[in-house]
């Protein structure tokens, strides 16, 4: 396949678990830095590259990476709707709302039925106010919330307006609930896990997450970062 990274490419990358979005971009950047499209009149041009929407290290799935002049379109991609699949664990919470930190509190689940779960799922569809996790990249006075939280400082985040277009359970085997969700830019699925636990008069945290779509882009056509850069190795 012929690439023109300097002119600009839109790359669909399937981010592996444990990788940060930054690490994924760096892997691609290092892999393509010697590509002929970065040579003009015998002068090597530094690769310009960026991603259109962060995925947490424990999440997998679609990451749109833009190169060259296509980096100007990043904001357009960030504004697209996102589709995710994943699992919630019902009956326990963690400080970061996912598996990055250990369980800090447990809650009763005996009262939770499939009917109650399906009823509460419906209440999450539509426009709503959502408070981001304190362990997030949201900026507070120029500093990332997660940096303040990890330093032991008290973090208070204001709610943000988001929209959930579709939300469904794909399997219920308590304490695990599998789900699929389509939502707007800025939605934290970890926060949905927290709020869903509260709606059930219990607690919950996110145990797996995969981004499957961004707008019309599908992870089915994406490749892993290591697989992508292999084609440029000699």
pLDDT in tens, 121-178: 999 999 999 988 766 565 555 566 555 556 566 666 778 899 999 999 999 999 999 9
14 belongs to the catalytic site = no
Predicted pLDDT at 20? 92
- Regarding predicted confidence, which is higher, 233 or 82? 82
The reported pLDDT for the residue numbered 233 is 73
pLDDT confidence of residue 137:
61
> Sign (positive/negative) of CA torsion 165, 171, 173, 178?
negative
14, 41, 56, 98: the active-site residue: 56
- pLDDT (0 to 100) of residue 155: 63
Tell me whether residue 64 is exposed, middle or buried, using C-beta atoms within 10 angstroms of its C-beta: 0 to 12, 13 to 18, 19 or more. Answer: buried
Q: What is the pLDDT of residues 186-234, one digit of tens each?
A: 999 999 999 999 999 999 999 999 999 999 999 999 999 999 999 877 6
Q: What is the Cα–Cα distance from 126 to 182, expressed in whole angstroms?
A: 11
Query: 60-67 and 204-214: which strand pairing?
Result: parallel
Confidence class for position 19, pLDDT limits 50, 70, 90 = very high
**pLDDT given for residue 159 in this prediction:** 84
* CATH fourth-level superfamily of 10-79+218-230: Pseudouridine synthase (3.30.2350.10)
pLDDT of residue 42: 67
Does the pLDDT at position 68 exceed 60?
yes
Q: Quick one: pLDDT at residue 145?
A: 57
The more confident residue out of 55 and 36 is 55
pLDDT band at 181 (very low <50, low <70, confident <90, very high): very high
Nearest to 80 by CA among 185, 209, 220: 185
Q: Are 148 and 141 in contact (CB under 8 A)?
A: no
CA distances from 62 to 17, 68, 163, 167 (A): 12, 20, 20, 19
Q: Are strands 105-106 and 92-93 parallel, antiparallel or unpaired?
A: antiparallel
188-222: string of b/e by CB count within 10 Å (b at 16+)? bbbbbbbbbbebbebbbbbbbbbbbbbeebebeeb
| Predicted pLDDT of residue 150 | 63
Is 10-79+218-230's fold the same as 82-214's?
yes
Q: Provide the residue ranges of all domains of the chain, joining segments of one domain with +.
A: 10-79+218-230, 82-214
Q: Right CATH number for 82-214 from 3.30.479.10, 3.30.465.10, 3.30.420.240, 3.30.2350.10?
A: 3.30.2350.10
Smallest CA-to-CA distance from 179 within 171, 190, 187 is with 171
pLDDT in tens, 20-46: 999 999 999 988 887 777 766 667 778
Give me the pLDDT at residue 232, please.
79
Q: What is the pLDDT of residue 121?
A: 98
- In three-state secondary structure terms, 212 is strand
């Amino acid at each position: 396949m012929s690439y023109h990274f300097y002119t600009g490419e839109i790359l669909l990358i399937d981010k592996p678990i444990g990788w940060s979005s930054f690490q994924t971009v760096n892997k691609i950047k290092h892999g393509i830095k010697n590509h002929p499209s970065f040579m003009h009149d015998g002068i090597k041009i530094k690769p310009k590259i960026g991603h259109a929407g962060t995925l947490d290290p424990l999440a997998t799935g679609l990451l749109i990476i833009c190169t060259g002049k296509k980096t100007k379109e990043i904001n357009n991609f960030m504004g697209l709707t996102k589709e995710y699949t994943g699992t919630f664990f019902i009956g326990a919470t963690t400080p970061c709302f996912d598996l990055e930190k250990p369980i800090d509190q447990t809650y009763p689940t005996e009262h939770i039925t499939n009917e109650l779960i399906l009823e509460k799922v419906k209440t999450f569809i539509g426009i709503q106010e959502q408070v981001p996790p304190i362990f997030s990249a949201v900026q507070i006075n120029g500093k990332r919330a997660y940096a303040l939280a990890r330093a032991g400082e008290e973090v208070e985040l204001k709610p943000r307006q988001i929209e959930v277009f579709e939300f469904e359970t794909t399997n219920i085997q308590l304490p695990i609930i599998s789900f699929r969700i389509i939502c707007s830019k800025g939605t934290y699925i970890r926060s949905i896990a927290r709020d869903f636990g509260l709606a059930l008069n219990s607690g919950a945290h996110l145990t797996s997450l995969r981004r499957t779509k961004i707008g019309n882009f599908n992870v089915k056509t994406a490749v892993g970062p290591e697989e992508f850069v292999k084609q440029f190795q000699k």
